[in-house]
Amino acid sequence: MLDVEKIKRDIPLFQNYPNLIYLDSCATTLKPRYVLDKMDEYYQEYGVNIHRGVYELSYRATEEYDKARKKIAKFINASFEEVIFTRGTTNSLNMIAQTYGMANINPNDEIITSELEHHSSLLPWMKVAKKKGAILKYIPLNDEGRITVENFKKVLTDKTKVVAITYVSNTMGYLTPIREIIELAHKQGAVVIVDAAQAAPHFKIDVCELDCDFLAFSAHKMLGPTGIGILYGKKSLLDKMDPEEYGGDMNNDVFHDNVIVKETPYKFEAGTPAIAEAIGLGAAIDLLEKIGFDNIRQHEKELHKYALEKLSSVSGITIYNKTADIGIINFNIDGVHPHDASTFFDQANIALRAGHHCAQLVTKWLKCNGTLRACIYIYNSKQDIDIFVKTVQEVVEFFRQFSEV
C-alpha cells in the first residue's frame, strides 16, 4: 500500500499548490524532490561536458551519465549498447521511421498500425508510406475499442514489413496483446516498434521477454524530467542503421569525403546530450523501483475501481473506457464541450486534460469532438477521487440549467 501523503510531501509542486488535485499524469507526471536534487547536484557539483574531457570533473560527469544508461538498460532488461538517449518518445519513434523505415520500406510493402495510436506513433509511418509508396493498414478495433489478436491477423500478410503499435493507449488505457502480436509479426518477417510511453510508468518492461525490435518511452511520464527519452533497439538492427543526425561525439574519424561513425549507441547521439536529464531519469527509476511496480499497479487499480463506482451514480456523463487496464478515465459531460467543462474543473483546482490527446483517430472512432481525460497515479488518493466526482456532478448540474432554458 502506498503512502500517498509521503509521496506528495516529496513533490515540491504540491507544497506550492496544496489544494491541487492532479489528474493529468498521462500528459506529464510531477517531479519528486529527489529527482530535482540529483539534477541540481550535477549542475552545482560537476556540471561539465561528458566524454573526451581529460580532467576529474569530466570523468565524474561521464561516470554518472553512464550509470544512468546502465540503470535504464537494467530497467528494461537490455544491454548497455541497446539504450539510446533521445529527446523523448516522439523523437525516438520519428528516428526509427526516418532511419530504419526509409532504408527498408519499398513500394507496395505494408505497414500496420492502429487507430489507437498517439500521433507520434502514427504520423512518422504515414510519411514513410507516402514517400516510399508503401501501404498503411489499420488494425480494426473491436466494439470496445481494443486491439485484438484476431483483428491483427486480418491485416497481417507476407507483405507486412513494419508494425508500429502502442503498448498502452494514452486515451483508452487499454493494454495491447503485445507479445502475441510481436510473435505473429516476426513469423512474417516484420519488425515491431512499440510505443511504451504510457506503459513504462505503470509496470516493468522486459524487452527480451517481449522480443520487440524497437521500444520507446519518455522520462517525464514516469517522474523524470522533460526533454529526454529512450529508444531501445536490438543491437543487430542498430548496428546496420545509419544515424539520423551528424555532428560532435558520434564519429571516430572524419576525412574530406567520408566519416567513420562510432559504435551504437554513440553514433545515434550527436552533440552534447541532456546530461542532467539522463541523471534525473536514472533517479526517477530508482524511486519507482523503491516504491515497487506491484504496489503502483495495485494502488492504481483500487483507485480506478473506486472512481468508476462513484461515477456510476452520476447521470449525464459518458465514460468511453469503463474496462481500462490502467487508471485512465476517458469521458464527456453530455452536451458540453470538453474545453468548457475543463475550465470548470480548473476553478475547482482539478487538473485534467481536454481535447483529442494527440490521438485524433480515437475521437473520430468515438464520434465526438474531443474528450476529458482523468489519469490516476501514485500521488492520487480517495479524497482526490471524491472531490473529482463531486465536481463532475457540479459540472453536470451547472450546464444542465442552460439546456433546460
The residues annotated with a catalytic role in the active site are 358
**Interaxial angle between packed helices 293-311 and 382-403, expressed in degrees from 0 to 180 and rounded to the nearest 10:** 30
Which residues make beta-bridge pairs with 195?
Answer: 166, 216
- Strand 251-254 and strand 259-261: the pairing is antiparallel
The owner of cell 470538453 is 338
**SS3 of 347, please?**
helix
**401 CA to centre of own chain:** 39
Q: Are 103 and 244 in contact (CB under 8 A)?
A: no
Q: Are 2 and 295 in contact (CB under 8 A)?
A: yes
Q: Is the dihedral of CA 124, 129, 130, 132 positive or negative?
A: positive
Report residue 349 as a C-alpha cell: 483546482
**Rounded to an integer, what distance in angstroms lies between the CA atom of residue 219 and that of residue 285?**
9
Q: Is the dihedral of CA 139, 142, 146, 148 positive or negative?
A: negative
Residues 6 or more apart whose CB falls under 8 angstroms from that of 60 comprise: 46
**Rounded to an integer, what distance in angstroms lies between the CA atom of residue 47 and that of residue 39?**
9
**Rounded to an integer, what distance in angstroms lies between the CA atom of residue 364 and that of residue 219?**
29
Report residue 38 as a C-alpha cell: 540529483
- Dump strand ranges (E) for 263-402: 317-319, 328-333, 350-351, 353-355, 371-375
Report residue 405 as a C-alpha cell: 432554458
**Rounded to an integer, what distance in angstroms lies between the CA atom of residue 296 and that of residue 2?**
8
DSSP secondary structure code for residue 255 in this structure: -
**Rounded to an integer, what distance in angstroms lies between the CA atom of residue 218 and that of residue 143?**
30
